[in-house]
Structure 1
Amino acid sequence: MIKEETYISRLNPVNAIDDLIEVAKTHEVPIMDKISVEFVKQLIRIHQAHNILEIGTAIGYSALHFASVNDNVHVTTIERNEMMYQFALQHIDDYKKQHQIRPIFKDALEALNDVNDKEYDILFIDAAKAQSLKFFELYSPFVRQGGLIITDNILYHDFVGNIEIVRSRNVKQMVRKIEKYNAWLSENKDYDTNFIDIGDGMSISVKK
């Protein structure tokens, strides 16, 4: 029997960018699953988003997918790991998206002055999970009213909400921070937030 996720993935459009999935596997780099990235791309279309700010570039897979929606989408993406940053630069060049993607090599906690030159339609948070709350607080002022703040991996391998199965102290600390972030989001009256069971979990917050 074909797994449901595999079947659904096959129904989605084939994109040359998906060749990077094998690169990610080879170098053990976590990237968005196919269904999740297509879901965000549909949100970009629905909201007619033009400016996207991404926290956590990795090899450039998601930024390239976002930019592929149409030529009017511009992605500013921040990465602190030099090897990942170099991978991303190469892939942005390979897919000829230099005019749409602005990569920034810096710790996201220190990159405010590099990205504060525009208002963003979407903020996509997919970096150090323990810092999601800080990233949200730092960069949400740059998101327009009615814009989206999307946070990926809010379930953290399904450990969130099941902390009793976690044996590692460090992982438990991580899970508690993510649970605190999720609770903070659900109670934040400045945003309408939904939590979606897709991929490794995703939250979508609409700025009021």
Structure 2
Amino acid sequence: MEIFEYIESMNSRPELFPDVLAYAREHKVPIMDPDALQVMKHHMHLTGAERILEIGTAIGYSALHMLSVSDDVEVVTIEKDADSHRTAKAFFGTYEVAGRVDPILRDAKEIDPEMLRGPFDMLLIDASKGNNEYFFENFSPFVKDGGLIIVDNILLRGLVVEEEIQSRNRRRMKEKVDAFNKKIAASGMLSSFLPVGDGLLIISKQEEGKNA
């Protein structure tokens, strides 16, 4: 067993939503890795985050896990794919959490954040990776001071450190994600880049003018 596999096994917990996980695997739906989920949920416990904004619902897997942290957690989640949105709503109904989640069928790039019920305790960015910077710039202002901003897939399954990439689209994706990661690292914000799952970036939002 390699060291990262050992860490992954230590961070992972018994699956709470096996049917959702099975659906994701069968239909090849990208979802958060189990160890990254547990690290995120741990930070929710530490900060007491209850009002969550999620960019990228997919089939509702990560939203269900966030809702499982506490009965007081509420999630506003945005998804642009109608089939994924419909499936997520069905799973929310199955697990009887529909009253605590507001699933929005829209492209997050077309939403006026002022229309959302902010401020939020936490923002999870887990949508199209080339738009990480856009989502961060447009939605992080609606996270309260002291809140969390979490970005998944910052390693792109190792693509982010590859030098020779033949595909133009993959190369462009790598460049955008890498540029965003480096911008955050150089910003002075209180942040951590964690090698769990496909890479998890955790940022603590500070008051204006305060640096780490």
User: After superposition, where does 1:141-180 map in structure 2 within 5 Å?
Assistant: 141-164=141-164, 166-180=165-179
- Which position in structure 2 is the counterpart of 1:94? 94
1:117 to 1:46, Cα distance in 2 relative to 1, 3 A: same
1:36–1:64 CA distance, 2 compared to 1 (3 A) = same
Deviation at residue 44 of structure 1 after TM alignment: 0.7
The offset of 1:110, in angstroms, is 1.6
Counterpart-to-counterpart distance in 2, 1:178 and 1:134: 11
Q: Secondary structure at the match of 2:159?
A: coil
Question: Would the aligned equivalents of 2:8 and 2:196 in 1 still touch at CA under 8 Å?
Answer: no
- TM norm structure 1: 0.92
Superposed, 1:22-171 pairs within 5 Å as: 22-113=22-113, 115-164=115-164, 166-171=165-170
Structure 2, unaligned runs of 5 or more: 207-212
SS, match of residue 53 in structure 1 = strand
Which residue matches 2:195? 197
1:8 matched to 2:7? The reply is no
Q: What is the number of residues matched between the two proteins?
A: 204
Tell me how far apart the structure 2 counterparts of residues 129 and 68 of structure 1 sit (CA, whole Å). Answer: 26
Question: Which moves more between the two structures, 125-134 or 180-189?
Answer: 180-189
In 1, the alpha carbon distance for the partners of 2:202 and 2:139 equals 15
The share of aligned pairs that are identical, in percent, is 38
Higher mean alpha-carbon deviation, 55-64 vs 34-43, is at 34-43
Q: In structure 2, do the counterparts of structure 1 residues 98 and 7 end up closer, same or farther at CA, with 3 Å as the change threshold?
A: same
Letter in 2 for 1:12: R
Residue 112 of structure 1 deviates from its aligned partner by 2.5
Q: Are 2:186 and 1:184 aligned?
A: no
1:96-151 CA distances to partner (integer Å, 9 max, x unpaired)?
Answer: 10111110000001223575322111100000001010000010110011111100
Residues in 1 aligned to 2:155 and 2:144: alpha-carbon distance in whole angstroms: 27
**Following the alignment from structure 1 to structure 2, what is the Cα–Cα distance between the partners of residues 163 and 154?**
16
Q: Work out whether residues 55 and 126 of structure 1, in 8 Å CA contact, stay in contact via their aligned partners in 2.
A: yes
Deviation at 1:198, TM superposition (A): 0.7
Helix, strand or coil at the partner of 1:163: coil
Q: Distance in 1 between matches of 2:53 and 2:114?
A: 11
CA distance in 1, matches of 2:114, 2:77: 10
TM-score relative to the length of structure 2: 0.90
Secondary structure of 2:174 counterpart: helix
